[in-house]
Structure 1
Amino acid sequence: MRHKCSTPIATRGQYWLRKVARTALLTVGRFPTALTLARALHRHGVRVIVADPLRRQLGSVSRAVAKNYCVTAPNTDLPAWEQDILDIIEREQVTDLIPGSEEVCHVANLVPRLPQSVRYQGPSARWIAQWHDKLRFVEHAISRGVTAPSVYTTADPEARALIRQTECVVKPRRGCSGTAVSFIAQGSNVPAPSPDMLLQRKVEGNHLYTLSWVDDGEVRTTASYRGSTHSGTVAVGFQSAPTPFSVKQWIERFLSDTQVTGFISFDFILDRSGIPWGIECNPRLSSGVHFIDETWLGAAVMGEATGPAPISPAGKRAQWSYSTLTEAYKHLLRLQLPELARCGRDLLVSRDAVWSWRDPLPFLLMTPLCWEFIWRSITERMPIGDASQCDIAWHWFTPQDAAQADAMQRGDEREA
Structure 2
Amino acid sequence: MTAPVVLITGARAPAALDLARAFAAAGYATHLADSAPCAMARWSKAPAGVHAYAAPVARPEAFERDLRGLVARLAPRLIVPACEEVFHLAALARRWPDLKARLLAPDFETLRALHSKALFGEICVAHGLPAPETWTLEGPEDLAALPPAGDLVFKPEYSRFGVRTLIRPDPARLAGLRPTPSERWVAQRHVAGTEVSFYAACREGRLTAFSAYGSTWRERGGASYAFEAPAGRVTADLLAIATTLAGVVGQGQFACDAIIDADGRAWLLECNPRATSGVHLFDRDPALAHALVGDGPSVQAAPATPRYLAPAYWLFGLPAALRQGRLGDWRRGLGEGRDVIGAPGDRWPLLGALVDSLRFSAKALLAGRSLAAAMTADIEWNGDRP
Q: Is the shorter-chain TM-score for this pair beyond 0.5, marking a shared fold? A: yes
User: Is residue 11–residue 82 contact of structure 2 (8 Å, CA) maintained in 1?
Assistant: yes
Q: Give CA deviations for 1:386-409 in whole Å, capped at 9, x if unaligned.
A: 2211111114x8xxxxxxx435xx
User: Is residue 310–residue 350 contact of structure 2 (8 Å, CA) maintained in 1?
Assistant: no
User: Is residue 24–residue 94 contact of structure 1 (8 Å, CA) maintained in 2?
Assistant: yes
User: Is residue 6–residue 77 contact of structure 2 (8 Å, CA) maintained in 1?
Assistant: yes
Q: How far is 1:73 from its partner?
A: 0.7
Q: Does 1:210 align with 2:198?
A: yes
What is the total number of aligned residue pairs between the two structures? Answer: 376
User: RMSD value over aligned CA atoms?
Assistant: 2.3
User: Is residue 268–residue 279 contact of structure 1 (8 Å, CA) maintained in 2?
Assistant: yes
Matched with 1:193 is: 179
Q: Does 1:29 align with 2:11?
A: yes
User: Is residue 267–residue 278 contact of structure 1 (8 Å, CA) maintained in 2?
Assistant: yes
User: Is residue 27–residue 52 contact of structure 1 (8 Å, CA) maintained in 2?
Assistant: yes
Q: 1:278 aligns with which of 262, 268, 273?
A: 268
Q: How far is 1:275 from its partner?
A: 2.3
Q: How far is 1:45 from its partner?
A: 0.9
Which secondary structure does the structure 2 equivalent of 1:115 belong to?
helix
Q: How far is 1:88 from its partner?
A: 0.3
2: distance between equivalents of 1:282 and 1:121?
A: 14
Q: How far is 1:165 from its partner?
A: 6.5
Q: Does 1:252 align with 2:231?
A: no
Judged with a 3 Å threshold, the aligned counterparts in structure 2 of structure 1 residues 67 and 310 are, in CA distance, closer, same or farther, namely: same
1: distance between equivalents of 2:149 and 2:219?
A: 31
Q: Which amino acid letter does the alignment assign opposite residue 296 of structure 1?
A: A
Deviates most, 147-156 or 219-228 = 147-156
1: distance between equivalents of 2:223 and 2:9?
A: 22
Q: How far is 1:164 from its partner?
A: 1.6
2: distance between equivalents of 1:259 and 1:164?
A: 34
Q: Does 1:349 align with 2:336?
A: yes
1: distance between equivalents of 2:190 and 2:100?
A: 46
Q: Does 1:237 align with 2:223?
A: no
Once the two structures are superposed, the pairs formed by residues 100-179 of structure 1 within 5 Å of their partners are 100-112=82-94, 113-115=96-98, 118-149=101-132, 150-153=134-137, 155=139, 157-164=141-148, 166-179=150-163
2: distance between equivalents of 1:346 and 1:391?
A: 33
Q: How far is 1:279 from its partner?
A: 0.4
Q: Does 1:406 align with 2:385?
A: yes
Which secondary structure does the structure 2 equivalent of 1:348 belong to?
helix
Which secondary structure does the structure 2 equivalent of 1:374 belong to?
helix
Judged with a 3 Å threshold, the aligned counterparts in structure 2 of structure 1 residues 340 and 394 are, in CA distance, closer, same or farther, namely: farther
Judged with a 3 Å threshold, the aligned counterparts in structure 2 of structure 1 residues 131 and 163 are, in CA distance, closer, same or farther, namely: same
Which secondary structure does the structure 2 equivalent of 1:24 belong to?
strand
Q: Which amino acid letter does the alignment assign opposite residue 318 of structure 1?
A: R
Q: Give CA deviations for 1:301-326 in whole Å, capped at 9, x if unaligned.
A: 222213x525234x520111111111
Q: 2:52 aligns with which of 55, 67, 70?
A: 70
Q: 2:373 aligns with which of 383, 386, 389?
A: 386
User: Is residue 135–residue 173 contact of structure 1 (8 Å, CA) maintained in 2?
Assistant: yes
Matched with 2:216 is: 228
Structure 2 gaps of 5+ residues are none
Deviates most, 164-173 or 226-235 = 164-173
Deviates most, 41-50 or 297-306 = 297-306
Which secondary structure does the structure 2 equivalent of 1:162 belong to?
coil
1: distance between equivalents of 2:224 and 2:253?
A: 18
Deviates most, 61-70 or 375-384 = 375-384
Structure 1 gaps of 5+ residues are 1-13, 398-404, 408-416
1: distance between equivalents of 2:75 and 2:317?
A: 45
Q: Does 1:266 align with 2:266?
A: no
State, as a whole percentage, how many aligned pairs show the same letter: 23
2: distance between equivalents of 1:92 and 1:209?
A: 34
Q: Give CA deviations for 1:352-399 in whole Å, capped at 9, x if unaligned.
A: 01011222211133212333212112333433222211111114x8xx
Structure with greater helix percent = 2
Judged with a 3 Å threshold, the aligned counterparts in structure 2 of structure 1 residues 381 and 326 are, in CA distance, closer, same or farther, namely: farther
2: distance between equivalents of 1:174 and 1:378?
A: 23
Matched with 1:326 is: 315
User: Is residue 29–residue 60 contact of structure 1 (8 Å, CA) maintained in 2?
Assistant: no
